[in-house]
Amino acid sequence: MDEFIRFEHLGQRFDLSEPLLARLIYRRPKKFLDAVDDVSFSIERGQTYALVGESGSGKSTIARMAVGLLLPSTGKVLIDGHDLHDRSRTEAEHRRIRQRLQMIFQSPFASLNPRWRVGSILAEPLRVFGLVEDRAAELGRVHELLDQVGLSASDARRFPHEFSGGQRQRISIARALASNPDFIVCDEPTSALDVSVQAQVLNLLKQLQRDLGLTYLFITHDLAVVRVMAHRIGVLKSGKLVEEQATAELIESPQSDYTKMLIRSAPRIGSIQARTGMSQA
Amino acid sequence: MNGERGAWQRFLASDFFYDFKRSPVTLVSFVIVVTLILLAILADLVAPTNPFDPASLNLMNGFTPPMEPNAFTGETFLFGTDDQGRDLLSAIIYGLRVSLFVGLTAVILAMVLGVSLGLLAGYRGGWIDSLIMRIADIQMTFPSILIAVLIFGVARGLLPPDLRDELAISVLIIAIGLSEWVPFARTVRGTTMVEKEKEYVQAARLIGLGSGQIMLRHILPNVLSPVLVIATITLALAIIAEATLSFLGVGAPPTEPSLGTLIRIGQDFLFSGEWWILLFPSVTLLALALSVNLLGDWLRDTLNPRLK
């Protein structure tokens, strides 16, 4: 199996100090928060890696570093052996790498610009990366993307507020697919959705992974979702990776106390499978 | 699809239009504002005489009371005449044009400046934000009319004397524009700080768009509805500021009288019995400023879902 993305000793330290003057007057030291502390793991091409953990465990911070939205304080993100944050690279090279990385966000309500028509939202990455020759090709690609996520071509003329949460998440997925990425970070893509709609979106993501050979980094706190989606699972606690195993092993025989506690406190395990008849990943 | 017609019918069916129809005060204000704007635009066609043309003035017509024939020439004027024999109705229509032009352009200047600085401060944060907002704070401690007088005075001092009258209107616009940008910047900064955390902005950053493009293409359309409200209310302020400056004699030159200039002229004759020279321009200014203000208030209430 070949490795697609590798996180090496990744760390993110946030400066939470008070302003300089307040520190001098009250003689307070500088305060830091290690949101992510020395985290290393890698994801195989075409597989799904799930990061689970409670709120504030650093999941989303890792997600943002994985796509280059946030610069790591320490460590590296290697994509096919190339350092994502290498400053010596030219803008054109950065653009090529960015094109391969995409993200699906948590809130289907905040992730689409309310003043833009769906067609423009989907066309933007196409234009920025110069993937289409003219208007006709652009429109064709937008329709193709909408079709790929189970929406109709006429939806391109509508505004985001005319869609339901699940449909918006489909639009969000279509936007992520627009630049033909290899790797998509899914930051709790179903946590804001109705349970019945969750399964549909998860099914779509699985199908796209099969068809397009996508690699996913799946961020979630929902172990039921993880069981359906992930090949491997990493458990994150206070910025540290406490355990990492293949999905079945982790669920069957968790090693750390924290993982056991997480599994015990997830009442809905297996329930998604029962609803959709989906097999385990 | 019939886009044009569809949009118009959607507008007629909207809550916005429903609210508008239901408020008699707003309807009356709207009619007044539209009438005054039309009068100003069509001044050349509507006004009986051209008050800026000295050749058309007859000194014998001076101080004719409204609706009474002049003792010497027998001419009648609806609003009477001033000391120069200038028809007041025409002077008001042309003055309205100057007042509205200065007010509108000053608001546009203040809006462009305030919205740009607000976007920049809100999106960038850090020292740029602190710098812009501290300047705004300092400016807010002075009455805006004082700022305008200051800018006007400095600009006149810098200009060569033969250009002063020619550029007086431009200087007036800049002075009022620079004194009214703060409310725009504050509102836009606040909304921008909320919007920039939303995920659609992250998605735009992800594909490598620069700050400028994100601010203009993504954030700007989402911060515009409060800007529209402030622009309307600022328009009333700008019209009054222009009138005040002209009344004080630092605004529009006497050769191109605005409503404020006419009120200043009228004020000289109030105690000698020629009341109409003061009254009619004042009533026009009052109607204009009040109507614009009422429209602004209504717009604020309608566009703010929290007040419903």
A47 pLDDT above the threshold of 60:
yes
Residue A173 gets which letter from DSSP?
H
- The span from the CA of B251 to the CA of B242, in Å, is 7
CA distance B184 to B122: 12
Where do the domains of chain A lie?
3-276
- To the nearest whole Å, the CA of A237 is away from the closest chain B CA by 25
Q: A38-47, A131-140, A220-229 — which is least confidently predicted?
A: A220-229
Summarize the confidence of residues B146-161 as an average pLDDT.
85
Q: What per-residue confidence (pLDDT) applies to A262?
A: 83
Q: What percent of chain B has pLDDT over 70?
A: 96
Say whether pLDDT at B1 is over 50. Answer: no
Nearest CA in chain A to B199: A111
B29, part of any domain: yes
The answer as to whether B63 is a domain residue is: no
Q: How far apart are CA A63 and CA A187, in angstroms?
A: 7
- Tokens read off for A109: 């309500």
pLDDT of residue A272: 53
Chain A segment 48-77 residues within 8 A of B by beta carbon are: 67-69
Exposure of A168 in the CB half-sphere (CA atoms within 13 A): 26
**Is 70 exceeded by the pLDDT of residue B2?**
no
Confidence tier at B305 by pLDDT (50, 70, 90): low
d(CA A105, CA A152): 22
Tally of CA atoms within 13 A in the half-sphere of B79 that contains its CB: 23
Q: Do residues A272 and A224 touch, judged by C-beta distance below 8 A?
A: yes
Question: Which comes out higher in pLDDT, residue A216 or B69?
Answer: A216
CA-CA distance, A190 to A107, in Å (whole number)?
A: 9
Reported as a single tens digit per residue, the pLDDT across B199-225 is: 999 999 998 888 999 999 999 999 988
pLDDT digits (tens, 9 = 90+) for B46-96: 878 787 777 777 777 777 777 777 777 777 778 877 777 788 888 899 999
Percent of chain B at pLDDT exceeding 90: 41
**Residue B247 structure tokens:** 């009344």
What pLDDT does residue A24 have?
Answer: 84
State mean pLDDT over B226-230.
90
The string of pLDDT tens digits covering residues B120-130 is: 999 998 899 99
- Residue A271: the pLDDT is 53
Q: Which of B203, B209, B222 sits opposite A175 (nearest CB)?
A: B203
- Rounded Cα gap, residues B250 and B152, in angstroms: 8
Q: Which residues of A touch B200 (CB under 8 A)?
A: 110-113
| Closest chain B residue by Cα to residue A125 | B207
Residue B215 within a domain: yes
Contacts 24+ apart (CB under 8 A), A93-97: A94/B208, A95/A129, A95/B208, A97/A68
More confident residue, B249 or B204: B204
Q: What is the pLDDT of residues B160-190, one digit of tens each?
A: 888 777 788 888 899 899 999 999 999 999 9
Query: Which among B200, B202, B207 is the nearest to A128, CB-wise?
Result: B207
Which CATH code for domain A3-276?
3.40.50.300
CB B300 within 8 A of CB B231: no
- CB–CB contact A110 B199 (8 Å): yes
**Range A135-144 contact pairs with CB under 8 angstroms and sequence separation of 24 or more:** A141/A178
Chain B interface disruption, residue of A113, A131, A168, A191, most B CBs within 10 A: A113
- Read off the pLDDT of residues A95-146 as tens digits, 9 standing for 90 and up: 888 889 999 998 888 999 999 999 999 999 999 998 888 999 999 999 999 9
Mean pLDDT of A20-31: 82
From A178-182, A215-219, B14-18, B51-55, the region with the lowest mean pLDDT: B51-55
Give the pLDDT band (50/70/90) at residue B5. low
SS (H, E, C) chain B: CCHHHHHHHHHHHCHHHHHHHHCHHHHHHHHHHHHHHHHHHCHHHHCCCCCCCHHHCCHHHCCCCCCCCCCCCCCCCCCCECCCCCEHHHHHHHHHHHHHHHHHHHHHHHHHHHHHHHHHHHHHCHHHHHHHHHHHHHHHCCCHHHHHHHHHHHHHHHCCHHHHHHHHHHHHHHHHHHHCCHHHHHHHHHHHHHHCCCHHHHHHHHCCCCHHHHHHHHHHHHHHHHHHHHHHHHHHHHHHHHHHHHHHCCCCCCCCCCHHHHHHHHHHCHHHCCCHHHHHHHHHHHHHHHHHHHHHHHHHHHHCHHHC
Q: pTM for the whole thing?
A: 0.83
Q: What is the mean pLDDT of chain A?
A: 87
Whether A276 has a pLDDT exceeding 80, the answer reads no
B77 located within any domain: no
Average pLDDT over residues B133-153: 89
Question: How does residue A22 score in pLDDT terms, banded at 50, 70 and 90?
Answer: confident
Q: Which domain holds residue B119?
A: 23-46+86-307
pLDDT over 70 percentage in chain A: 94
Q: Is A189 on the interface with B (CB under 8 A)?
A: no
Question: Do residues B181 and B110 make contact, with C-beta atoms less than 8 angstroms apart?
Answer: yes
- Stretch among A23-27, A223-227, A262-266, B277-281 having the lowest mean pLDDT: A262-266
> What is the predicted pLDDT for the residue at B78?
80
Residue to mutate among B196, B200, B214, with most A CBs inside 10 A, is B200
CB pair distance less than 8 Å for B222 and A113 = yes
What's the pLDDT score for residue A183? 94
Most confident of A25-34, A175-184, A222-231, B15-24: A175-184
Query: What's the gap in Å between the CA of A280 and the closest CA on chain B?
Result: 31
Total number of domains constituting chain B: 1
Nearest in space to A52 (alpha carbons), one of A207, A258, A267: A258
For chain B, which residues lie within 8 Å of any Cβ of chain A, measuring from their own Cβ?
198-200, 202-209, 218, 221-222
B2 falls within a domain: no
pLDDT-based confidence at residue A270 (cuts at 50, 70, 90): low
Instruction: Measure in Å the smallest separation between the Cα of A279 and chain B Cα atoms.
Output: 32
Phi, psi dihedrals of residue A87, rounded to the nearest 5°:
-75, -15
Cβ separation of B221 and A128 shorter than 8 Å? Answer: no
Interchain CB distance below 8 Å, B207 and A94: no
Domain harbouring B90, CATH code: 1.10.3720.10
Chain B hits for A168, Cβ within 8 Å: none
End-to-end CA distance of chain B: 34
Instruction: Examine residue B283 and state whether it is found in any structural domain, yes or no.
Output: yes
pLDDT score, position A151: 94
The stretch A7-16 carries a mean pLDDT of 89
Kindly state the average pLDDT of the residues A232-260: 89
Residue of A146, A264, A179 lying closest to B204 (CA atoms): A179
pLDDT for residue A277 = 53
> What type of residue is B140?
M
Per the domain annotation, does B155 fall within a domain? yes
| A contacts of B209 (beta carbons < 8 Å) | 128
Tell me the nearest-neighbour CA distance from B289 into chain A, angstroms.
32
The larger pLDDT score, comparing residue A45 to residue B168, is at: A45
**Closest-CA residue of chain A to B205:** A69
Compute the distance between CA of residue A276 and CA of residue A148 in angstroms, rounded to an integer. 20
Q: Read off the pLDDT of residues B29-42 as tens digits, 9 standing for 90 and up.
A: 999 999 999 999 98
Q: B269 in a domain, yes or no?
A: yes
pLDDT at residue B308 in the model: 44
